[in-house]
Amino acid sequence: MQTLASRPPVPIYPFEPDEATGSQSFSLVRSAGELPYEADVLLPHRKAYYMLVFTKHTRGRHWVDTIPYVRQDHALYFSSPRQVLVKEEPTPFWGTRLTFTEEFLAVQHHAALRQLPLIENPQNGHELVLSAADEAVVDDLLAQLEAEYRRPGEWQHPLLSAYLTVLLTYLSRLYAEQLPGGEPSADQRLLRAYRASIEVHFRERHEVSAYAEQLHISAGHLSEVVKAQSGKSAIKHVHERLILEAKRLLLYTPQSLKELAYDLGFAEPSYFSRFFKRETGLTPAEYRASIRKMYQ
């Protein structure tokens, strides 16, 4: 039986195995003007997998967390398993949808892929614009991927892996060009590790000392590095992640404030309300009313 704290506040869509290939962790779907995934329209949800959508021609608008994106032609849209997605309306789509699971990346041969900028997404991006030359390269790699995807056999998996590695590496170069961040130093890597740990544990770990223990360093050293690298205190990063999730839930779910507080790991709803107002200037109820009015 699920408790309030364990109940998922936004539905999580599992990876759907492809009927044609039976793959449990990788899929590639072409679209030539269809209206795919209409059931997702206006329904906030997460997907339990990575998704890359290459657009040739499309229209409409969708949301990633609380940020709207007006879709454009000749672009790549990408998302990770923990982001909240919303599509506003069904629109025809010409392009390719590529999906794969975290387990697919966890396989030994794919371990390095998890460190690529496109997958790690340190700049919290969601959109890349493809030039004609970039699109030609991507089209060729997608064609190779599709050919192997439709050709089962003992060589299918290593060839899919090889082509996917090239594709994600090429897109990561575009990511670095369009969303620059530079080669990370040791301190920058520590900041990234800290942020990655927050992403996984923010519900149950609200103190910097808990993260420092996991990273095998002192809380003082972690706080010093995080402040120097980001300009924000270490605890501020935890608070910002809690606020982001709270805003997601206030906008996208009908959860009561009590349920929401427990879901985010607060022992008392009153403490959560004081925390939210201190960080945003609004009570949770005031924020929910204002944000829903804004986007009606």
Per residue in 135-156, pLDDT (tens digit) is 999 999 999 999 988 888 778 7
Pair of tokens at residue 132: 């004609």
Same domain membership, residue 199 and residue 222: yes
Please state, in angstroms and rounded to a whole number, the distance separating the CA atoms of residues 19 and 13: 17
Residue 63's H or E segment, with its range, is strand 61-64
Q: Name the domain count of the chain.
A: 2
Same domain membership, residue 231 and residue 132: no
45 near 84, Cβ under 8 Å?
A: yes
pLDDT at 4 over 50: no
Same domain membership, residue 145 and residue 19: yes
Domain assignment of residue 1, yes or no: no
The 10 Å Cβ neighbour count of residue 288 is 21
Strand runs (DSSP E) across 193-265, as ranges?
none
93: β partners: 34, 58
Same domain membership, residue 223 and residue 159: no
245 near 220, Cβ under 8 Å?
A: no
Same domain membership, residue 85 and residue 132: yes
In tens, the pLDDT along 18-27 reads: 776 777 788 9
Phi and psi at 61, nearest 5°, equal: -140, 145
Please state, in angstroms and rounded to a whole number, the distance separating the CA atoms of residues 20 and 157: 16
Domain assignment of residue 54, yes or no: yes
Same domain membership, residue 172 and residue 42: yes
User: Across residues 226-235, what is the average pLDDT?
Assistant: 88
Q: Choose one of 178, 208, 224: the last residue of a domain.
A: 178
Going from the C-alpha of 218 to that of each of 187, 208, 227, the distances in angstroms are 14, 10, 14
Q: Choose one of 178, 210, 240: the last residue of a domain.
A: 178
Same domain membership, residue 196 and residue 163: no
CATH of the domain at 132: 2.60.120.280
pLDDT band for position 181 (50/70/90)?
Answer: low
Same domain membership, residue 163 and residue 201: no
Domain hosting residue 271, numbered range: 186-294
Same domain membership, residue 209 and residue 127: no
Please state, in angstroms and rounded to a whole number, the distance separating the CA atoms of residues 189 and 268: 35
Domain assignment of residue 3, yes or no: no
Domain assignment of residue 29, yes or no: yes
Helix, strand, coil share (%) of the chain residues, nearest 5: 50, 15, 35
pLDDT band for position 122 (50/70/90)?
Answer: confident
In tens, the pLDDT along 276-289 reads: 999 999 999 999 98
CATH of the domain at 236: 1.10.10.60
Q: Choose one of 146, 178, 210: the last residue of a domain.
A: 178
Q: Specify the amino acid at residue 287.
A: Y
Please state, in angstroms and rounded to a whole number, the distance separating the CA atoms of residues 271 and 268: 5
Order the strands of the 67-70 sheet from edge to edge: 67-70, 61-64, 85-87
Same domain membership, residue 279 and residue 237: yes
- Nearest by Cα to 51 from 82, 97, 13: 97
Question: How confident is the model at residue 113, as a pLDDT?
Answer: 77
Domain assignment of residue 7, yes or no: no
Contacts of 165 (CB under 8 A, 6+ apart): 110, 113
Domain assignment of residue 147, yes or no: yes
pLDDT at 97 over 70: yes
For 167: left if phi > 0, alpha if psi spans -120 to 50, otherwise beta; the answer is alpha
Q: Specify the amino acid at residue 77.
A: Y
Specify the 3-state DSSP secondary structure of 203: coil
Please state, in angstroms and rounded to a whole number, the distance separating the CA atoms of residues 224 and 207: 15
Question: How confident is the model at residue 117, as a pLDDT?
Answer: 87
Phi and psi at 294, nearest 5°, equal: -65, -40
What's the whole-model pTM score? 0.64
Same domain membership, residue 35 and residue 152: yes
Same domain membership, residue 238 and residue 117: no
